[in-house]
Amino acid sequence: MKQKLLALLKKDPRVSAKSLAKILGSTEKKVEAEIQKLLQSGEIVGFATVLNSNGKDEITAMVEVKVTTQRGRGFDEVAERIAKFPEVVNLFLISGSHDLNILVRGKSLAEVANFINRKVAVLENVNGTTTHFLLKKYKEDGLIFGEKMGDKRLKVSA
Amino acid sequence: MKIPLNRILETIPPSGIRKFFEIVAERKDVISLSVGEPDFDAPWRVREAAIAALESGETHYTPNKGYFELRTEIVKYFSRKFGVNYSAEDEVLVGNGASEIFDIVVRSILNPGDEVILFMPSYVMYAPLVQLAAGVPIFVKQISEIQKKISPRTKAIILGYPSNPTGTTFQKSELQKIAKIAERNNLLVISDEIYAELTYEGRHTTFASLPKMKARTATVSGFSKTFAFTGLRLGYLLAPADLTAAANKIHQYSALCANSISQIAAIEALRNCDSEVEKMRLEYKMRRDFCVRELKKMGFQIQKPAGAFYLFLNVCKKTGLTGEEFALELLEKEEVAVVPGSAFGAEFSDFVRISFATSLQNLEIAFEKIEHFLKN
Ligand SMILES: Cc1ncc(COP(=O)(O)O)c(C=O)c1O
């Protein structure tokens, strides 16, 4: 049940426990209990809604961060510290020419730039940042923006 | 002037599916459980390959039998999935869907009055195409009836499994029985296995994999169901070289070749779409389980179909309505469309075919409506 439940929630977090119970051949109670369990164990981190922010008053930047690690301390310390800022939407440790990849969101260019300069760049272990402002979103979390839905089939066929 | 038509054609009744289509097409907000094709679009990488082929000008005739590269991929795929090896040179023919392939196979083998054994209920094209090839379909419901129905004129047995409209498939032991009959009576077996990959219980056994059967089997299959490819119209025949050559003789005149763009898309499908196919299969399986559970809750007796995406449901036992009455009333009152079983043979007037090739959300609404319909 767990794998199927996760797949269904990943596709549509809004689907009701009642529907899930029907689809999985279980009861509403059991489904709710399973979701609680997955939330508590941290396997489900949360449920999010993907908004189409193209053309909205919102600025997003992808920031590449170089970090110097110190003996005995990995990337975790600095990463966890950056992650706590609400302006940070995504934060990944990556391989390659830099170490952390951060997605920062704010209301204006100034707000985002200030945040990066005053909160990220100044951190003790941060060695340098490169900021790319995002121009347009085409796809996020597996969802394509502006994709047309609808059934193109004949209503009855052999 | 009334145009005098082919005499055989005039004896063939209009398609029940077509008739029902016309009734449903007039209505707007119908949830349709009447569709015989995947609700998925072909995987993007397949469509993208088709676009690239079009861009690079692959707009010409292909070899009659299909691109050699495609035939090679079909042979590899079939060996990998079902364990039977064919020669890409002379044992594969690519055509415009399993439909064309089936047509040219029966036309290749039948002389006027030749008989073929056909299971009922079965997919709607078999009997009419046999008749148009001047053959005579002889109907059976079970394997045990076949031997009794064999005459000196019997030429072939037609199989279609997993089945449209019932979703049932043959177990290996059943296929072995059919193989024995075919061998004893020197019959050809035409096996439509287009739903082979949509098998939910156990593994699909291809008829040609049974001992000694490859030499007397024409496997008819295609891309429509497995790769959600219906509109691209592509199917294939795997058969002994002499039969393949005979079918190609018709194909080269009546079709010349299959669509070049579709053939290139199909190469991509065979090479790189295993995981997409598996994803679709699991989705259908989940829907099947949902449908069967809901119908059982409503008090219908129904077994889980082993493959395809259909349920063949006897509605008369529970509701007293014929399949046609049930379908029409359900459409009228609840705007849910199912196909009357009579479309698959007059004997199945107590049944309806329910297709679960539609989203779980749609199925959930549709089954709530069916439940509501039953209560009133
Ligand atoms: C059993 C069966 N065979 C063949 C076909 C036709 O396939 P194609 O699209 O390859 O012509 C169908 C389509 O519904 C089918 O259900």
Contact between residue B318 and residue B297 where contact means Cβ atoms under 8 Å apart: no
- Model confidence at A102, in pLDDT bands (50, 70, 90)? very high
- Chain B nearest C-alpha distance from A28 (Å): 15
For A21, nearest residue in chain B (alpha carbons): B290
Integer-rounded Cα Rg, in Å, for chain B is 21
If asked whether residues A16 and A73 sit together in one domain, one would say no
- Chain A nearest C-alpha distance from B363 (Å): 10
- Residue A146 placed within a domain: no
Q: Decide if B365 touches A, using CB distance below 8 A.
A: no
- Chain B nearest C-alpha distance from A150 (Å): 10
Mean pLDDT of A45-59: 87
If asked whether residues A69 and A113 sit together in one domain, one would say yes
Per the confidence metrics, is the pTM higher than 0.80?
A: yes
pLDDT digits (tens, 9 = 90+) for B197-235: 999 999 999 999 999 999 999 999 999 999 999 999 999
The pLDDT value given to residue B138:
98
Domain containing residue A97: CATH number: 3.30.70.920
Contact A155 B30 (CB under 8 A): yes
Assess whether the C-beta atom of B348 lies below 6 angstroms from ligand 1.
no
- Model confidence at A51, in pLDDT bands (50, 70, 90)? confident
Mean pLDDT of B37-51: 97
Nearest CB to A154; choose among B15, B21, B125: B21
- Model confidence at A92, in pLDDT bands (50, 70, 90)? very high
Q: Report chain A's mean pLDDT, rounded to a whole number.
A: 93
The pLDDT value given to residue A71:
77
CATH number of B7-41+275-375: 3.90.1150.10
- Model confidence at A150, in pLDDT bands (50, 70, 90)? confident
- Residue A142 placed within a domain: no
The pLDDT value given to residue B16:
87
Q: Maximum Cα–Cα distance for chain A, whole Å?
A: 69
> Could you give the CA distance from residue B285 to residue B302 in angstroms, rounded to a whole number?
16
The structural domains of chain B, with segments of one domain joined by +, span 7-41+275-375, 44-272
- Residue A86 placed within a domain: yes
Task: Name the residue type at position B52.
Answer: A
pLDDT digits (tens, 9 = 90+) for B256-309: 999 999 999 999 999 999 999 999 999 999 999 999 999 999 999 999 999 999
| Alpha carbon distances (Å) from A43 to A12, A19, A39, B137, B264 | 17, 21, 6, 58, 42
What's the token pair of residue B125?
């094209």
> If contacts are CB pairs under 8 Å, which of residues 136-175 in chain B contact chain A?
164
Report whether pLDDT(A70) > 80: no
Q: Residue B219: beta bridge partners?
A: B191, B238
pLDDT digits (tens, 9 = 90+) for B360-373: 999 999 999 999 99
Mean pLDDT of A75-84: 94
- Chain B nearest C-alpha distance from A147 (Å): 13
Beta strand segments in A68-158, E: 88-93, 100-106, 126-133, 139-140, 143-144
CA B81 to centroid of ligand 1, rounded, Å: 20
User: Which among B99, B161, B310, B353 is the best mutation to test ligand 1's pocket, defined by most ligand atoms within 8 Å of the CB?
Assistant: B99
Probe site for chain A from B35, B99, B356 (most A CB atoms < 10 A):
B35
Number of Cβ within a 10 Å radius of residue B59: 9
Assess whether the C-beta atom of B222 lies below 6 angstroms from ligand 1.
yes
- Chain A nearest C-alpha distance from B146 (Å): 26
Mean pLDDT of B76-98: 98
If asked whether residues A30 and A67 sit together in one domain, one would say no
If asked whether residues A28 and A72 sit together in one domain, one would say no
The pLDDT value given to residue A56:
81
- Residue A19 placed within a domain: yes
CA B232 to centroid of ligand 1, rounded, Å: 12
Q: How many domains does chain A fold into?
A: 2
Segments forming the whole domain that contains residue A96: 59-136
Contact A153 B39 (CB under 8 A): yes
Mean pLDDT of B348-369: 97
> Could you give the CA distance from residue B146 to residue B179 in angstroms, rounded to a whole number?
12
Contact between residue B74 and residue B88 where contact means Cβ atoms under 8 Å apart: yes
> Could you give the CA distance from residue B94 to residue B304 in angstroms, rounded to a whole number?
33
Report whether pLDDT(B194) > 90: yes
Assess whether the C-beta atom of A158 lies below 6 angstroms from ligand 1.
yes
Contacts of residue B262, Cβ cutoff 8 Å, sequence gap at least 6: B50, B223, B229, B232, B233, B234
Q: Decide if B218 touches A, using CB distance below 8 A.
A: no
Residues of B in contact with A18 (CB under 8 A): none
Nearest ligand 1 atom to alpha carbon B100: 11
Contact A25 B124 (CB under 8 A): no
If asked whether residues A77 and A103 sit together in one domain, one would say yes
Q: Decide if B364 touches A, using CB distance below 8 A.
A: yes
Q: Report chain B's mean pLDDT, rounded to a whole number.
A: 97
The pLDDT value given to residue A73:
78
- Residue A143 placed within a domain: no
The pLDDT value given to residue B191:
98
Mean pLDDT of B329-346: 96
Assess whether the C-beta atom of B34 lies below 6 angstroms from ligand 1.
no
- Model confidence at B193, in pLDDT bands (50, 70, 90)? very high
If asked whether residues A36 and A80 sit together in one domain, one would say no
Minimum mean pLDDT range among A46-50, B304-308, B332-336, B364-368: A46-50
Mean pLDDT of B229-256: 98
Contact B32 A155 (CB under 8 A): yes
Report whether pLDDT(B28) > 90: no
Report whether pLDDT(A72) > 80: no
The pLDDT value given to residue B304:
97
Return the percentage of chain A with pLDDT > 90, whole number. Answer: 80
A vs B, Cβ pairs < 8 A, gives: 56
CA B248 to centroid of ligand 1, rounded, Å: 20
Minimum mean pLDDT range among A33-37, B11-15, B93-97: B11-15
Nearest CB to A155; choose among B34, B123, B343: B34
The pLDDT value given to residue B19:
87
Fold of the domain built from segment(s) B44-272: Aspartate Aminotransferase; domain 2 (3.40.640)
What's the token pair of residue A46?
């949360």
Report whether pLDDT(B26) > 80: yes
